[in-house]
Structure 1
Amino acid sequence: MNFTRTRHTARSQRNNKIANIAFYTLGALVMLLIFWLLFTILSKGLPSLRPDFLIKQPEEIDAGGGIGPVLFNSFYILFISLLISIPIGIGAGIYMAEYAPDNRFTGALRICVESLSSVPSIVFGLLGLAIFAEYFNVGLTILGGGVSLALLNLPMLARVTEEAVRAVPGEIREAGYALGMTKFHVIRKVVLPVAMPAIVTGVCLVAGRAFGESAVIILTAGLSTSGEMWDFNLFSPGETLAVHLWYVQSEAIVEDARQIADKSAAVLVFVVLLINFMFRFPLWLGRRRGR
């Protein structure tokens, strides 16, 4: 009996070591792939990037154009989409996790939200095109692009928020109720601070997706700009950096199209990384202060 137990223990330890080596190897390969992609994209564009490239107008024929208006439109449309999707998506996730009854209707609603999260973005682009360009007859606009991106990101944000809130241990809620707190105060003061890192991760995902989205923008905001650097008019055309990158790479006739594409790709990747840092830095700072 002792010999059998010893063999079983040795086999378990050997399998544990093999599993550890395998998972560490997979993690290292994934990290190497990510760093290789980042290095490849950034090394092609950043060395030749100049500050004037970020504020100059794009050129259709002559070389030396910039990305000023399309970069501004990217941030403007991102701001509009987050302004709509964050309160609605987080609110819907909290409702599904804390207030919605556990019945068939709620289960069907959850399945619908999960299904919408996997719908191709071009479907939301066609929906935005039908609503803004055909029904309201306002054409391809910044407003249409921002609202369509918000609709695209709502299901994912709601689902991430629901899972983050559900992952909070029940003992924490019971401690709040034991102190005489109401349900709303338990959610606001206890549950949300614990779930906030996961919620911020969801916001980072949808923000990065919105900033780099092209299919929705082509169908709802168009392939052009108003020609002004700081155009806050919601009904102006809203070509973004991702759409401009696609256009320059596939259809542009300027002689330095390849260089513009490389620099635009580097700026796009850098901004996505910057967005993630800006959302996560306050959480990291708060954890440091809490120690």
Structure 2
Amino acid sequence: MTPKKADKIAVNVLYGLSGIIVLILASLLTYILVRGVPQFSIEFFTQPAKTFEVGGGIIIQLYNSFYLLLLTLLISTPVAMGAAIYLSVYAPQNSFTTFVRTAIEVLSSLPSIVVGLFGFLMFVVQFKLGFSILSGALALMIFNLPLLTRTIEDSLTAIPSSQREGGLALGLSKWETVTRIILPAAMPGIITGVILSAGRIFGEAAALIYTAGQSAPALDFTNWNPMSITSPLNIMRPAETLAVHIWKINSEGLMPDGPDVSAGASAVLILAVLSFNLLARYLGKKIQKKITSA
């Protein structure tokens, strides 16, 4: 067999494997959307769930998912940003930083159910926060922090050293170089990483079953007193998210139209995660174009 023919065969095999992956993904998305999109209606997005009646909606679970996502990002992003800046700029290359990076890699591969059990023992039981949005956000922070830290660190280290040296040559301090040169240049990658982690958080269920709870108490969207149990802003109330709602419907089987509601909720979840990924790509390219004037 000639090298040219062997190369052609290898390329065709790679194309075939890529096509199989695309076909599996397309089949999965098509199946979920074909079953779920017909369930969409105004009532489906505006009515609360009805456990023993037909026609339940997902408004409370959908709101809880976005609220928990926002709270988690507000907690984890500054921590991940600080850790990434330290590791990429200030940390010396020694055994300690090697150990920290190894620990981050190990934590990023932990199963979410383990993070949920840790969150239950630590936040729900030890800190006595109970099943609440705050407990769920803290558990998701632990779940999200390693990957987000690594993503931001990679974005910072990808900046050419010549830009760092140029800032120092102009008389800027190391901190000024970071805030005025490195961070703006790395912002497309940072924003992309944050949005992609948001999609990962939005679809998480296992860690929230043991921390945020499996109940969705009725919310009064006219009551914005954060101390009230019916207030949407209360972070100490239990909160069933969309992913947990799907798991609960299929595990309990109490809802008469459970399969239809589950299919619709799954389609919403898939579309939301897909939107996060497309938004990450769009914003990354937009900011990169603006910064580089390309």
TM-score (norm 1): 0.88
Corresponding position of 1:37 = 28
Question: What is the aligned partner in structure 2 of residue 232 from structure 1?
Answer: 233
The equivalent of 2:205 in structure 1 is: 214
The answer on 1:255 being equivalent to 2:256 is yes
Q: May I ask how many residue pairs the two structures share in their alignment?
A: 282
AA aligned opposite 2:84? G
Shift in Å at residue 94 of structure 1? Answer: 1.7
Q: Which residue of 2 aligns with 1:272?
A: 273
Q: CA deviation at 1:211?
A: 0.8
Partners of 2:178 and 2:162 in 1: how far apart? 13
The aligned runs of 1:125-144 (5 Å cut-off) are 125-144=116-135
Question: Deviation at 1:20?
Answer: 3.9
Give SS of 1:220's match.
coil
CA contact (8 A) 1:124 1:216 kept: yes
Displacement of 1:216 in angstroms is: 1.1
SS in 1 for 2:210: helix
8 Å contact kept, 1:82–1:207: yes
Tell me the alpha carbon deviations over residues 81-111 of structure 1, each in whole angstroms, 9 at most, x when there is no partner: 1001111112211211111111111111111
Cα distance in 1 for partners of 2:201, 2:120 equals 17
Shift of 1:182: 2.9
Q: For 1:58-69, what aligned pairs fall within 5 Å after superposition? A: 58-69=49-60
SS of alignment partner, residue 239 of structure 2:
coil
Q: Is the 8 A contact 1:70 1:225 kept in 2?
A: yes
* CA distance, structure 2, for counterparts of residue 75 and residue 285 of structure 1: 24
For the Cα contact (< 8 Å) 1:57–1:66, is it kept in 2? yes
User: Which is worse superposed, 43-52 or 231-240?
Assistant: 43-52
Kindly provide the amino acid, as one letter, of the partner of residue 95 in structure 1: Y
Contact 1:69–1:229 under 8 Å retained in 2: no
Alignment match, 2:227: none
Match of 1:124 in 2: 115
User: Structure 1: which 5+ runs fail to align?
Assistant: 1-6
Which deviates more from structure 2 when the two are superposed, residues 129-138 or residues 37-46?
129-138
Contact map agreement 1:55 1:229 (CA 8 A) in 2 = no
Aligned residue in 2 for 1:190: 181
Which amino acid letter does the alignment assign opposite residue 245 of structure 1?
I
- Select which of 84, 87, 103 maps to 1:112: 103
Q: TM-score, normalised by structure 2?
A: 0.88
Contact preservation (8 Å) 1:121, 1:215: yes
Write the letter of the residue equivalent to 1:141: S
Partners of 1:243 and 1:183 in 2: CA distance? 45
Contact residue 134 and residue 235 of structure 2 kept, 8 A: yes
Q: C-alpha distance in 2, partners of 1:271/1:114?
A: 27
Q: Which residue of 2 is the match for residue 82 of structure 1?
A: 73
* Residue of structure 2 in register with 1:165 after alignment: 156
Contact 1:200 1:280 in 2 (8 A): no
Aligned residue in 2 for 1:282: 283
Give CA-to-partner distance per residue, 1:58-91, whole Å, 9 cap, x none. Answer: 1111111111111111011111110011111122
CA contact (8 A) 2:192 2:283 kept: no
Indicate the larger mover: 201-210 or 169-178: 169-178
Is the CA contact (8 Å cut-off) linking 1:52 and 1:66 kept in structure 2? Answer: yes
| Partner Cα separation in structure 2 for residue 256 and residue 144 of structure 1 | 31
2:224 maps to which residue? none
Give the residue type in structure 2 aligned to 1:270. Answer: L
Offset at residue 176 of structure 1 (A): 3.1
Deviations 1:203-235 (A, max 9, x none): 233211211111111100111012115421111
Q: Which moved more, 1:123-132 or 1:51-60?
A: 123-132
Asked which structure has the greater CA Rg, the reply is 1
Shifted more, 173-182 versus 210-219: the winner is 173-182
Q: Between 31-40 and 195-204, report the one with greater CA deviation.
A: 195-204
Structure number with the higher helix fraction is 1
Aligned counterpart, 1:48: 39
Report if aligned partners of 1:41, 1:265 keep a CA contact under 8 Å in 2.
Answer: yes
The amino acid that maps onto 2:109 is: S
In the alignment, which residue of structure 2 is the partner of 1:3? none
Gaps of 5+ in 2: 222-231
Q: CA deviation at 1:39?
A: 1.5
Deviation of 1:286 after TM superposition, in Å, equals 3.1
String of CA shifts for 1:161-190, please: whole Å, max 9, x gaps: 222222222233223333333322332333
Q: Which amino acid is the alignment partner of residue 69 of structure 2?
A: L
Distance in structure 2 (CA, Å) of the matches to 1:159 and 1:187? 17
- Checking the alignment, whether the CA contact within 8 Å between 1:225 and 1:236 is kept in structure 2 is no
* Range moving further from structure 2, 17-26 or 166-175: 17-26
- How has the CA–CA distance of structure 1 residues 141 and 272 changed in structure 2, closer, same or farther, with 3 Å as cutoff? same
For residues 73 and 162 of structure 1, the distance between their equivalents in structure 2, rounded to whole angstroms, comes to 30
